[in-house]
Chain A
Amino acid sequence: MALTGIWYVIGFAFAAGSFTFLTFGAAWLISHRNRGDMHKGMPYESGIDTYGDTHGRFGLSFYIYALLFVAFDIEVIFIYLWALVFRSLPDPITGFTSMLIFVAILLLGLGYAWRKGVLSWGGPGR
């Protein structure tokens, strides 16, 4: 069995997970515990009793960033591959201009979002 790449990743993840759970276990063995009253289990929201539903509706600016992120993150993977082979391309000028056009189209999207006010506090339409 060749122990390379993916096996190291799996092994490291497993080792890190078991390290944390072993430490949790050790901490559980030696730590103090008491039951407390009903207030102990309540969420700490600056000392007052919690009001309303936590997992209810939530005013969240910047949610459109997630969409922009997906577009740009996939672009990044593509750009990385382009950057790797850029110096050994048979026709580097075509490679350069095509990437310029590709990024320009994406920047057009970013510019549209910017114009629409997505990048400002309060989200679009304000």
Chain B
Amino acid sequence: MTVVARTWDRLTLPGKALFILIPLLGVLTLGLVITIALFGQQILDILIFNLPIVRFVFSVTILMLIFVPMAFVIIYMEMKIIALMNLRIGPDRVGPWGTLLSTVHGLKVLMKEDFTPGKADAVVFTWAPVVVFSTAVLSALVLPFAPGLYGQDMNIGLLYFFAVGGMTVVGLLMGGWSSFNKYSLIGGLRSAAQIVSYEIPLTLSVVGLVILAGTMSLNEIVIQQSRTGWFTDWFMFRQPLGFLIFAIAATAEANRTPFDLTEADSEIVAGFATEYSGMRFGFFFFAEYINVFIISAITVVLFMGGWNAPFPSPHISWIVDPGSLGLWLVILIAIVPVVGTLALAAPFYLFRSKTRWWVALILGFVLFNVIAGGIFSLWAYINFDWVAGLFWFVGKAFALVFLFVWMRGTLPRVRIDQLMGFAWKWLLPAALLNLFVTAAAVLVIDAMKAAPK
């Protein structure tokens, strides 16, 4: 019996139905494409008429869909980077360099039994991961990814972000309480105490920034950091203490090492997630990795210039209108990929006698795609504001994600009373100090500016 047949036999009946449904969906997609080709103009008119609704649906879909690969990338990054830091090899079996491992993990979690313990409160038990995941999605709503690329630009964006982010604790507490497990309960209560305590320094550390910026809209804050175009405009350099406090408190808010007391596996099994399995467990950890990105993203927005490049970009215009090429465009599209693939495959085939012709062709094809993608990205980067913004934003955010992973690889977990004492005895007074020093400095500078007149 082949592997495929054996796997097919192991599926439950609904599973088989679902695997039949997926090709059916493919056929439906083809039908959709044909429909768009035939009635495209009418559909476009209706869409433009309902533009606000279309924008809403579009932003929801994009945010939800971008989260899945993003969580997979962060999970893979964490596995691989910590492995390299521990002098291990890490994932290397599934896909090139093990890159597909987190995807396979996701599929595995999807197919695992989703079990509710006997005495658990089933309703609360099910809603807990939903609440945690929803708060993660909701806090991404105000993030400005690039110029014009955000869910919603609220004038209370910063306050909204903290308010929604603090709701995570409700979900964790729900999970901890409803599991009917002492470890879960301890984990849930710990998370409540921890998140609630670090909420205060987290929110207070950005008050100095709010004084400087005079606004709470995240878009406005990003724009304020682009006066001269150099990285010295970033609030990181005008609010160093605030940045430090914010980074520490944000790490604690996201339950990351060294502050991951809520799921300290050496003490309380897995904390609030002890009794969870299958997809409900999956959503807890999906949300956790999204939260890592969101925390990095909000740090980038507030302190590291958001979508602004660290240096002023030279004005290059490299505009190619594809329409002006005429018939040459068709020839270009038809011939360049074939010739390019062959040309790039030739060296592998000619100069390495071990390489078979089809391996060389695949290598050439991949290389051609990489080069073409690179050229296209460069063109898009130069011509579109939002592509450049997205590049810098995601680049900076992932640099911070790397920092989080680095911390996890380096720092040991703190003790719970040290954790709580640190928030109240050190971070809170430091945040207040930062706030009043900033306010006094603003007072003096404004007075000096007003004096000569």
A21 touches B197 (CB 8 A): no
Interface string of A55-99 (1 = CB under 8 A from B): 100101110011011001100110110011011100011001001
- List chain B residues, Cβ under 8 A from A110: 424, 428
Report the bound CA distance from A43 to B63 in whole Å.
Answer: 36
Known: A44-B275, A54-B185, A96-B439. A29 touches B14 (CB 8 A): yes
By CB atoms of chain B within 10 A, which of A16, A30, A68 has the most? A16
Known: A20-B134, A54-B181, A92-B443. A33 touches B113 (CB 8 A): yes
- List chain B residues, Cβ under 8 A from A58: 185, 189
A96 touches B440 (CB 8 A): yes
- What distance in Å separates the Cβ of A88 from its nearest Cβ neighbour in chain B? 8
Known: A5-B152, A65-B196. A23 touches B283 (CB 8 A): yes
Interface string of B96-120 (1 = CB under 8 A from A): 0000000000000111111101110
Q: Does B232 contact A (CB under 8 A)?
A: no
- List chain B residues, Cβ under 8 A from A119: 420-421, 424-425
Report the bound CA distance from A29 to B114 in whole Å.
Answer: 11
**Chain B residues with a Cβ closer than 8 Å to the other chain, count:** 87
Report the bound CA distance from A58 to B184 in whole Å.
Answer: 13
Q: Does A2 contact B (CB under 8 A)?
A: yes
Q: Does B264 contact A (CB under 8 A)?
A: no
Report the bound CA distance from A120 to B12 in whole Å.
Answer: 54
Report the bound CA distance from A110 to B11 in whole Å.
Answer: 59
List A1-27 residues whose CB lies under 8 Å from chain B: 1-5, 7-9, 11-13, 15-17, 19-21, 23-24, 26-27
- List chain B residues, Cβ under 8 A from A33: 12, 113
Report the bound CA distance from A90 to B211 in whole Å.
Answer: 15
B119 touches A41 (CB 8 A): yes
Report the bound CA distance from A44 to B276 in whole Å.
Answer: 10
Q: Does B279 contact A (CB under 8 A)?
A: yes
Binds A, one of B37-45, B53-61, B311-319, B404-412: B53-61
Q: Does B126 contact A (CB under 8 A)?
A: yes
- List chain B residues, Cβ under 8 A from A24: 114, 126, 279-280
A114 touches B425 (CB 8 A): yes
B183 touches A45 (CB 8 A): yes
List A98-126 residues whose CB lies under 8 Å from chain B: 99-100, 103, 107, 110, 114, 119-121
Interface string of B232-243 (1 = CB under 8 A from A): 000000000000
B14 touches A76 (CB 8 A): no
- List chain A residues, Cβ under 8 A from B436: 100, 103
B197 touches A20 (CB 8 A): no
B134 touches A16 (CB 8 A): yes
By CB atoms of chain B within 10 A, which of A9, A66, A120 has the most? A9
Q: Which of B141, B207, B417 contacts A80 (CB 8 A)?
A: B207
A83 touches B185 (CB 8 A): no
B154 touches A62 (CB 8 A): no
- List chain A residues, Cβ under 8 A from B154: 5
- What distance in Å separates the Cβ of A38 from its nearest Cβ neighbour in chain B? 8
Q: Does B225 contact A (CB under 8 A)?
A: no
Q: Which of A30, A66, A80, A92 contacts B210 (CB 8 A)?
A: A80
A20 touches B118 (CB 8 A): no
Q: Which of A3, A9, A28, A99 contacts B141 (CB 8 A)?
A: A9
Report the bound CA distance from A41 to B180 in whole Å.
Answer: 11
Interchain residue pairs with CB less than 8 A apart (9): A23-B110, A30-B15, A31-B114, A54-B181, A69-B197, A69-B199, A72-B428, A76-B204, A114-B424
Nearest 9 A-B pairs (CB), nearest first? Answer: A41-B118, A43-B181, A27-B279, A121-B417, A16-B137, A29-B14, A30-B15, A16-B134, A3-B52
**16 additional contacts (CB under 8 A) given A19-B64, A27-B111, A93-B443:** A8-B151, A12-B134, A16-B64, A16-B130, A23-B279, A29-B14, A29-B15, A30-B18, A32-B112, A40-B115, A44-B181, A44-B274, A45-B269, A46-B183, A65-B193, A119-B424
